[in-house]
Structure 1
């Protein structure tokens, strides 16, 4: 599980169209593409999440299947 938290990580996620899963207390509360961010919040999809209380994880989009 790749957790991102630096500005450079969020910029890369925006540039490469990386799907981000948002967690709060270990539970998924949202996901999507990073639309923007500042020092306090990250906009994922159409929702804004606090950087201080949320965890942002690089994950495969939910519609993708993974053949292991």
Structure 2
């Protein structure tokens, strides 16, 4: 299996990015995801958890599909 390192970090200066779903990748593995709450030069907070911008990749994407029973 050929694996490529993810080198993608969204542009956090875009105000429209708030309230959008973000997937967090660290060491080529999914480590979390959710709505962007806040960020600074070093960290990004998603679902109350801070993620290092130096060690994680943040990928803006549609939220996962969820089936709500009637």
TM-score range, shorter chain: 0.7 to 0.9
Provide structure 2 residue ranges, at least 5 long, that are not aligned to the other structure: 1-7
1:2-46 per-position Cα deviation (integer Å, ceiling 9, x unaligned):
x3343314x3311xx210000001110000000000110000122
Partner of 2:13: 8
Report the counterpart of residue 28 of structure 1 in structure 2. Answer: 30
Greater share of strand residues, 1 or 2? 1
Runs of 4+ in structure 1 displaced over 6 angstroms?
none
Alignment correspondent of 1:37 = 39
Please say if residues 20 and 57 of structure 1, whose CA atoms lie closer than 8 Å, have aligned partners that are also in contact.
Answer: yes
Q: TM-score, normalised by structure 1?
A: 0.74
Higher helix share: 1
Is the 1:22–1:55 contact (alpha carbons within 8 Å) kept by the matching residues of 2? Answer: yes
